[in-house]
Every structure is written in C-alpha cells, then in structure tokens.
Structure 1
C-alpha cells in the first residue's frame, strides 16, 4: 500500500528556509522558461471575493504543476478569506498535495500557507536579481503584513537594502513591521506617512488587498521596477499603459487576474504588450538590456509550480528525518 505523508504548518516551517526557497524558485523559473516545468493556468472559485454570490468574501484557486528538475507533480488548493481575520487567523488558507507523476499515488498532503508566503517573497527577489544588477537597492513597500515581511526577508538575502520605506493603512502594522525587520534590513527603515513616499525607490513592491489604484503614474520615476503583487489592480492605468517593459511569470494568469485584468478585458492590453516572462529571462531565452531610464512593470502573480517545487523539498526532508504522520488512502 502507498503511504501518504501528512505535514502540519509547524512541521513545514521547521523543514524549509528562505535560502532553499530562493534556490527552488530560481530553478523553477528556469524550468518554466525552457519548457521542463508544466504549469496550466490556475482555476479560480469566487466565493464572494468579487462575485455577489455566495456572500463569503473569499476565493480559492486550484493550481496544478509538474516540475521537471525534481520529477514531481501536485496541486495547491489555496485562497484568501476576510472572515478569517475576525478570528485572528491569517488571510491565506492552503493545502498542497503531491503525487508520484508516474503512478499517480499521493505522496504528501501538507499545509501550504507558509510555503505560499515564502515563495511569494522569493519570486520578486529572483526577478530583481535579473532586472537590477546592482547589489545595493532601495525598496518602497506597500503592505506591512506577512507577505511584506517575506518579501523583505527574500530580497535581503540577495541585495544590500540601503533604505526601505514602508506604507500601510494601519500605522500599527507598519510599526510592527519595522520592529520585526530591523535586523533583516541592512539600511534604514522609514515608516511613510504619505503614500507617495515609498515610490522614491529602485523597486516598488505592492503586497496589499487594496481594490484602489493607489500607486500613481506621476509618482514613479525613470528607472523604477514596480511589482504589483496583489490580487487587484494596485497601480493606475496610466503607468501600466506607459511602462517601457511588462514582464510576467505566467502570461495566461497575469492577463486575467491582478494588475492587467481590467485593461485586458477592455482590449487595451494583450499578450503582444508583454516583453517576456521571468522564466524566459532566467533561462536565457530573452535578454533584457536595462536602460537606466526605463520603467518596468514586473508581475509574478504566483504559480503552482513554485509551491510544488518547494513542497517537494519539504517532503524529501520530512521523509529523511521521519517527520510527520502517514496515512494509507489506498
């Protein structure tokens, strides 16, 4: 009989580090670029996130993938629910299921929230590695929650963050972030009072749940790289339409969710406007020659491939250390 390993959130947290996630994300981006990673467009179940029915203010995504460099496959079932915050829980809820790609038996079932947070941070850090060749960097951060933390943790492992300016609609969240990250960021952390302040940076990271186009085109200086990571459109139409280059992690997903969704539906943005995928750049399929005055829009909206790659490393370590329970589903 086949044994399926079961891993809780705390067990997953004990089995993976950000440096391992960064390595896995970079290798998986390369696989997406060279065709050895298969990642279908995610399927979305709207449970009231934007739909009028049902009225639950949440969503779930089904995100399958095959990872060639690990010869593994699986699916992440993940979403966000505002109701969870009322009960002191994290917005994200997630499970990851791994299978043997040859036999189809389930190798593992594990919590996916921690992996989601880590790989989301790692995605923008790896993209920046190829888009911003200087080791020194100034970061503007919108959103001081968990993903704001993991963005900072990931970027700090690749770059010397000379200055980080953070803005959050909750001043308490911004202050907590600054305290939490004071030993992670090499340079100074500034808590912005005006939402315009973080835009004066080499890279702007947006990890909010805002449905407003709060990041204005006139704030964004030449040479800036903008990462709108939220589920909605965080930057205004003028910036998207005037960006010198648009780079995404997954064309199909990025045109139908997040920053490009509305403009795509209006026929103002299409696949023709996308310069490259991050995978094509990491795999060397497309070369990006940065003009110091170019403004780049980079959207790593998130793919199941990253989750499955990281989860497989967690599973391998759990197997070798005998961590987690097992169950015979077959």
Structure 2
C-alpha cells in the first residue's frame, strides 16, 4: 500500500526550523557522498521552447538520502498561461517516496509547499557558512512573491535581519510583502522604486520569474553575495565574470542552467572556476576566510535531495500519527 497525504498534513507537521536543519544536514551529505542527487531533467512546455505553447516546465528531481535510507523524486513545475488565468500558483508539484531496499512506493504528497520552504532554507544555510562572524544582516530581495516570503522567514531563523530592501515590478506586491513580513524582520523593510536601490547590503537575493537580466555588474559592491536563485538568468554575465568567488549547491546542475548557463556554454566558465559548494562549507572541509573585499555569487539551483529529505521527515511523523490514506496503486 502507498500512503497519500493531504497538503494540510504537510503544512501542519513541517516547520521552517525543521527545514533549515534538514537542508543543512543534506548539504553535508551531498559533500560527503552519502546523499545521491542526479542532475534534474527538465521538460520544457513552452517556457523557452516554441512548442508546446503552455508557458511552463516540469522538472524531474530524484535523490537518495543516506541518513534516512529513503529514495524519492519530486515532479515539479512552474506554469503561467492558462494556469495563471485560472488563479493557481505558479509552482505545482508532488513528491513520491520509495523504500530503496524493496522498491516499494511509500508515499505521495504535495511538493510545492516543501519547495517553497527548502528554497528559502538553502539561502539561509549558505549565508550561515558564508558570514560565519555575523549575527545581523542587511539584505535585498528582487521579487515579492511566495519565494521572497520563505527566503525572509528562513534567514530570520539564522540571523537578525536589520534591514530588508525589496523591489518588485508590481508595487502592490511589495506593499503586501512588507505588511506580512514585518513581524519576522526586526529592522526596516524598505520598498524600492528602482531596481538598483535593492542591490546593497550583505546579501542580494533574486526570486523573480524575470526573463530579463536585472542586476548589473557596477551595482555590486565588495562584501556582498548575490543569490540568483533557481534556473532563471537574472544577473548580467559581467556580474559573474567580475566575481571573486562562485559558490554553488550542485556543480553539474549549476553549469548547465540558471545564471552560469550562458558562460558555461561559451566555455568561459568551467568546473575549475567554482570556488566551492555549500555542502563543503557546511561540513567544514572548506572555509572562505576574509570575504570583506570579495564580490561573491552563490547559486543554489535547487536539488531533489532537499525535497526528499524534508518529505522523509514528514513521512516519519505522519506515520507515527496515523495520518494518510492507503491506496493500492501497484498491488504491493
């Protein structure tokens, strides 16, 4: 039997504190080889390809988590077009968990909520090991949607946010973000009217769906780390070329999608240009030293391992509480 869980169960049993701890442990597993994470496979449904015309994509993201002895895959998409018109969120997804010894499918659950949480947690954990001597941060965020909220919430678990600047092409979205997130930000939330005004502080995070490059090289100051999240290309190539350090979550993925894709395809960025991974920072095998005069890029493309690990925590708790509906999908 396979357990099927409702999204409300996931939201009730998993907190951001859980996710930050899980993401940190999973990064360490990626670095030491006990977590296996193949490169994600993308099905383009019109996000960049001319056909089919659905303005979206799906990613298949498998992983094995050694410390949980569990396998799984997230099937997640981002779709505009008709989905947006219907009033649904951009992100949609499910996670399937499996017993790696017997090949039995253990569970099916929502993947979008976990995606939102772990994406924020990735940034928070990376910042924890980049700014090892800081307890307070000033951050800038491009985009005022759900990802901006989970970024802010996750970072607030690791740092005191003394200033947050937000820029969104929709000023109403920025106002709503400020109203909802002020309770987790101890300092001021400043709504920026121009993109350049948000590019300052310790960390600058891009969580937009923009198909145009937003951040310019001459905006970036030494001591600032830029986070171009996910598979979008939100920064000029010159920002990368002028960076002193490039940190990624998964080298194979980072070179072939997102911010590094263009330069990698041109042969201007290769694996030797990657300073380190977040996992190597988290497990202590690499230390960055004095970064006060460094221009840095940190690219957490996103791995299925993070999703499967968080889903594994949920599954253990849900089974203990007798949640879920049994469904005989495979006859096992």
TM-score, structure 1 normalization: 0.98
Does structure 1 residue 80 correspond to structure 2 residue 93? no
Alignment of 1:219-298 (within 5 A): 219-298=219-298
Distance 1:79 1:142 in 2: 21
8 Å Cα contact 1:209/1:231 also seen in 2: no
Could you tell me how far apart the structure 1 residues matched to 2:25 and 2:269 are? 29
Q: Where does residue 146 of structure 1 map in the other structure?
A: 146
Q: Distance in 1 between matches of 2:180 and 2:231?
A: 25
Query: How far, CA to CA, are the matches of 1:230 and 1:170 in structure 2?
Result: 21
Cα distance, 1:230 vs structure 2: 4.0
Separation in structure 2 between the aligned mates of residue 36 and residue 109 of structure 1, nearest angstrom: 24
1:62-106 CA-partner distances (Å, limit 9, x unpaired) = 100000111111000011000222111110010100000111100
* Aligned residue in 2 for 1:115: 114
Q: Deviation above 4 Å: which 4+ runs of structure 1?
A: none
Equivalent residues in 2 for 1:101-250 (5 A)?
Answer: 101-133=100-132, 134-250=134-250
Tell me the secondary structure at the aligned position of residue 115 of structure 1.
helix
Alpha-carbon offset, residue 48 of structure 1: 0.7
User: Shift of the alpha carbon at 1:291?
Assistant: 2.6
Structure-1 residue corresponding to 2:16: 18
Is 2:143–2:166's contact at 8 Å kept on the other side of the alignment?
Answer: yes
Bigger mean CA deviation after superposition, 9-18 or 302-311: 9-18
Structure 1 unpaired stretches of 5+: none
Instruction: Report the TM-score, using the length of structure 2 for normalisation.
Output: 0.97
Q: Measure the CA separation in 1 of the matches of 2:322 and 2:174.
A: 39
Distance, in Å, in 2 between the alignment partners of 1:225 and 1:215 is 12
Q: Is the 8 A contact 1:208 1:230 kept in 2?
A: no
Q: What is the aligned-residue RMSD (CA, Å)?
A: 0.9
Distance 2:110 2:192 in 1: 34
Stretches of structure 2 lacking an aligned partner (at least 5 in a row): none
Q: In the alignment, is the contact (CA less than 8 A) between 1:40 and 1:63 conserved in 2?
A: yes
